[in-house]
Structure formats: C-alpha cells, structure tokens
Amino acid sequence: MKIFKTKKNLNSYLSLFDKNISVGFIPTMGAIHNGHLKLVQTSKNECDKTICSIFINPTQFDNSEDFHNYPKTFNEDIKKLKESKCDIVYAPNVLDLYKKNEKAKKYNFRKIDLFMEGKFRKNHFNGVATIIEKLFKIIEPNKAYFGEKDIQQLQIIKNLVNQINSKTTIVGVPTVREKNGLAMSSRNKLLSNKEKEKAAMIYRCLNYCKKNRLQPISKLKEYIIEKFKKTKELDLEYIEFVSLNSMLPIKNWGEEKNNVVCIAAHIKKVRLIDNIIL
C-alpha cells in the first residue's frame, strides 16, 4: 500500500496508470471502522485500484470544538487499510487542499440541503461538497463509495457530480452496524460501552417504523418523540420522514424504497445520525 501526503506526488503516481485501469475512491476523515472497510471491500470487488483519503475537512464543521475533538487515529487507520488491501492512501495536510483562509464554495443543491443536517449544521454540505469536488478533480475516480448512514450527504454528492459534470459514478453502500444495531461511526469511539447500549435505541426506533409501516407517519413520529422523552442521556435533535430523492418531509408513505426515516440525537456531547430506507 502506497501512502501520499501531497497531491503532486499522488498525481505523479496516478499518471503512470494505464488508461483502462478503473479506480475506486473512498473519502474518509479517518477513525477507520468496519463501515469504511466495507466501502474499501466493495471498491476492490468492482475496481482495479482502490484509493482511500484521510483528511479531517475543516470547512464542513460549524462547531470548532467538534472539529478539534474529532477522533484522530492515523497509525491505526493505516494498519486497518493495509490489512484490507487498499492500494493507495492520500493523507494530505490542510494547505495541500486549501489556500490560506479559503472558505467553502456555495452550491445550489435544489432544496436537498434545506432540512435535517442542512438545518442543524449550517454550511455543512457546502463544506462537504467543496472537499469532494477538490478530491474528485485530483483523483478522477471511476467510482466513489459512500455509506448510506449519511443518506442526505449521499444524495448531495449525487447532485454535486451533475453540477460539476463529473464522470464519477456514486455508489451507496448499506450501513454497517454494531451487534446492538448502532450504526458504525467514527464518533462511536467517543462513547463508553454503556453509552453505546443507550444509543442503540436509535436503531430500535427505526426498526419500529419498519415493522409498523402500515401506521400513519404522524403516529410513528409521535411514538419516537415520546420514546426519546423517556430516555435519559439521549436527546432527540430531529426525527423526519422524507422522500429519498428530494430529502423533503413527507406526510404519507410513497412507493417502496423511496421513503427514509432519519434520526439525529445527542448522547452527552456526541452527535449521532442514522436512517432506514423503507
């Protein structure tokens, strides 16, 4: 596995590839877990070469404390990626990707970004899109892989590739979960085992919606809100039922596999998100 710290050296290496070689790309912010490794494995199954980036992107954080507290486990990450037989890791510093004092670009995501994460994390998706556009222009992957846990982000990235006329195909990969159902996330490293058990209620609520899909959305929403009110330490930020394509709230169920139940919650200072596609 080759590791590059600068886009110049990475580009020099990529220029040696035969034009017929397919490249799969997984952008990460490190703190690699089995969810990331599933993306790597999917890429290896579909592409000739797999590239993973490790970069904690400052422009997508609206909270400086959250940015500074984000888990940093570079040596562990490299070990895991090497064991998963990732071919290339790109791990730049900020100045390799951003000019001094550079801000996130402004994009028009056609309302996909208005609710949920877009509402509670101002400018978050502009920051995400800014770094993804930069990485795509450097690597020019045939395919890029994203977890469905961040479903709104996945839809944003699909919108982005159309905006920038990218030839990269975006592939969504189902959420990988811990034994108790908690969606795997880099932020889980900040939780104790006891807190992880409490946080598993998020998935139980999503599963309840799956099992009770014949009920009206309003009833299910009420049930989840009440469930969170009775659970100490776990604070609900939002529960939304949205259309998969538009990411806008729905009042009635649409066609199968086109409805998403999305939850964001806090346990102490750790923010967790999850969803289920129905």
Query: CA nearest 50: which of 21, 92, 72?
Result: 21
DSSP conformation class of 147: E
Neighbours of 2 (CB within 10 A): 12
Nearest to 241 by CA among 253, 229, 256: 253
Report the interhelical angle of 124-139 vs 7-14 (nearest 10°).
Answer: 40
Two tokens at 268? 């102490």
Q: How far apart are CA 28 and CA 139, in angstroms?
A: 14
Active site residue ranges: 36
Return the residue matching tokens 């469905």: 148
What's the rounded Cα separation, in Å, for the pair 174 and 277?
Answer: 10
Residues in the chain: 278
> Given the structure tokens 């014949």, which residue do they identify?
214
Beta strand 169-173 with 143-147: parallel, antiparallel or unpaired?
Answer: parallel
